[in-house]
């Protein structure tokens, strides 16, 4: 990937769409049948980073350095290592949005996912809503 292609889109534009994708992850996390505290912590760190990108709108050519500085300047309850790990993920997703057209299109469409909705799951992890629709269709 050329250096120019990384500079073609502002990080804030990509991160705006990554926030929508994060909502899908939250929906999936809430429906899991195990303790999802670690997942919630990681998603909160990522959400915080994405929101800071939107607020500060760093330049594309300085985005990697900006993310590194977020990790170094971190003084919150989360570990600096966790913030650094999420910063690397955000940077890689930003790069992926430039390299993979399918990923970019998915983000531009608002990162659609059935996981974003709060429909409860059955024990076999199938969506209850799809079963209801099938039953209604069969009765017609």
What predicted TM-score, i.e. pTM, was given to this entire model? 0.68
Whole-angstrom Cα distance, residue 27 to residue 70? 27
What range defines the domain where residue 81 resides?
3-139
Count of structural domains, the chain: 1
Residues 115-127: pLDDT tens digits? 555 444 444 444 4
Mean pLDDT of 16-34: 69
| Residues in CB range of 103: below 8 A, 6 or more apart | 96, 97
Whole-angstrom Cα distance, residue 118 to residue 135? 20
Residues 49-75: pLDDT tens digits? 999 999 999 999 999 999 999 988 877
């Amino acid at each position: 990937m050329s250096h120019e292609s990384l500079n073609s889109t502002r990080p804030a534009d990509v991160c705006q769409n990554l926030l929508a994708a994060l909502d899908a992850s939250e929906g999936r996390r809430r429906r899991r049948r195990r303790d999802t505290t670690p997942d919630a912590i990681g998603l909160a760190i990522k959400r915080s980073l994405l929101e800071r990108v939107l607020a500060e709108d760093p330049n594309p050519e300085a985005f990697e350095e900006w993310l590194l500085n977020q990790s170094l300047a971190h003084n919150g309850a989360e570990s600096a290592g966790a913030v650094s790990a999420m910063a690397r993920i955000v940077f890689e997703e930003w790069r992926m949005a430039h390299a993979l057209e399918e990923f970019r299109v998915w983000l531009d469409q608002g990162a659609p996912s059935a996981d974003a909705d709060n429909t409860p799951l059955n024990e076999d992890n199938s969506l209850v809503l799809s079963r209801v629709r099938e039953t209604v269709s069969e009765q017609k």
